[in-house]
Structure 1
Amino acid sequence: MPEKTKLWYLENFNLFSNLDEQKMMELNDMITDRETKANEPIYFAEEPSKNIYFLKKGKVKITKYMSDGSEKILTVIGPGEIFGEMVYMDEGQRSDYAVTLEPSLICAINKNDLAAFIEKNPELNLRFTKLIGLKLRSFSERVEDLIFKDAKQRIISFILRYAEKYGKRVGEQIFIKPFLKHSTLGELTACSRQTVNYILTELRDKKIIDFDRSKLVINNLGELKKYVSK
């Protein structure tokens, strides 16, 4: 990959925005790029925690496998996000798995190299701490959804948050492309695939949203928000 393109991707991570060109080049020399196919593991639970990852394009799910062999998706990572970052705080082994949902472009940096880089650029320390804080807040919001909201509210709350992160407004509509499989959305909201299908179809019949296999479109954001503000 051309150096200019690698730097362009790095500049689009909020953590590294506003770094000067020399620092960006120094950071660029520390990372390795990897193109992946869909359903390809990035790291496994119980393996040594050495790297932190940055997703340049594609989607990655962070998941755990239960004792009965079932899978529980914890979150979905999109372009411009960091994952596996908890190794920065902990010397132990990972407790989750990271697997691509679609063809992706991922870069990795050794956690010790990143720590040394942040030490030389202390403004990044506050950004990194804030980033982890935002992730913890997002996790807390999902836990609250599971406790206090019914299935429809959980699904709609997730769609609204997902649209805020990845949606693109075109006129009065918000396009999320690509969107998640209904089975994945069900995992993330503790709902069955059938429940997800039913609720999304109901919202489509009311013309609040539209969807197909490749995208989800919010036609009426105000009406959608009413379901979670009751």
Structure 2
Amino acid sequence: MFGELELENDRNSSEYAKALTDEIIICSFLMSDFENLLLQNPNLALSYTKFVGLKMKRIKNSYANLMSKDAKTRLLNFLKDWAEKEGNKIDNRVIIENYLTQNDIAQIICTSRQTATLLFNELEENGLMHYSRKEIIIEDISKL
């Protein structure tokens, strides 16, 4: 879910979305319709409030990580989070369908593509993971 997080009319928004898989659903409606929907459905309003709160917490954590952690730690945290959300776990081994380029991952963890490549190579040399364009295999998630 993406788009407006607040119920304000901000005409200068520069948000955009990029589909990374074929499995997407696009649903668009007017802000006024959404406000009415929230008024009519208190459970939806509560769920939306929780969703926004979690998004804000993630942003806060990302900012804190950027300020206090090095690139390797940010990459490891990203891989663990991705593995937890989308990975196929077999004992401690996790296989993640990879739809991101190294440049995409570098942008997510706020580093250069060269640094991300070096970190991936280091993790592979240490036998912790295998990276390819199709999948990322983490040999033992507990060792990351």
- TM-score w.r.t. the length of structure 1 is 0.57
Unaligned runs of 5+ in 2: none
Give, in angstroms, the shift of residue 218 of structure 1.
1.5
Which residue of structure 2 aligns with residue 131 of structure 1? 51
Aligned residues: 142
Which residue of structure 2 aligns with residue 99 of structure 1? 18
Post-superposition Cα deviations, 1:134-157, rounded to whole Å, max 9, x if no partner, equal 111111111111111111111111
Give, in angstroms, the shift of residue 85 of structure 1.
3.0
Which residue of structure 2 aligns with residue 203 of structure 1? 123
- TM-score w.r.t. the length of structure 2 is 0.88
From 158, 164, 167, the equivalent of 2:78 is 158
- Equivalent residue letter for 1:99: K
After superposition, the CA RMSD in angstroms is 1.7
Partner Cα separation in structure 1 for residue 118 and residue 130 of structure 2: 13
Which residue of structure 2 aligns with residue 181 of structure 1? 101
Percent identical across equivalent pairs? 28
Give, in angstroms, the shift of residue 95 of structure 1.
3.0
Tell me, yes or no, if the aligned pair for 2:102 and 2:117 is still in contact at 8 Å.
yes
Q: Aligned runs of 1:13-162 on 2, under 5 Å?
A: 82-86=1-5, 88-93=6-11, 94-110=13-29, 111-162=31-82
Which residue of structure 2 aligns with residue 9 of structure 1? none
Post-superposition Cα deviations, 1:75-94, rounded to whole Å, max 9, x if no partner, equal xxxxxxx10032x5111122
Which residue of structure 2 aligns with residue 51 of structure 1? none
Tell me, yes or no, if the aligned pair for 1:179 and 1:216 is still in contact at 8 Å.
no
Tell me, yes or no, if the aligned pair for 2:98 and 2:132 is still in contact at 8 Å.
no
Which residue of structure 1 aligns with residue 140 of structure 2? 220
Give, in angstroms, the shift of residue 106 of structure 1.
2.5
Which residue of structure 1 aligns with residue 87 of structure 2? 167
Helix, strand or coil for the counterpart of 1:127? helix
Tell me, yes or no, if the aligned pair for 1:185 and 1:196 is still in contact at 8 Å.
yes
Partner Cα separation in structure 1 for residue 88 and residue 38 of structure 2: 32
Partner Cα separation in structure 2 for residue 177 and residue 221 of structure 1: 15
Partner Cα separation in structure 2 for residue 142 and residue 192 of structure 1: 17
Partner Cα separation in structure 1 for residue 39 and residue 87 of structure 2: 35
Give, in angstroms, the shift of residue 129 of structure 1.
0.4
Helix, strand or coil for the counterpart of 1:89? coil
Give, in angstroms, the shift of residue 104 of structure 1.
4.9
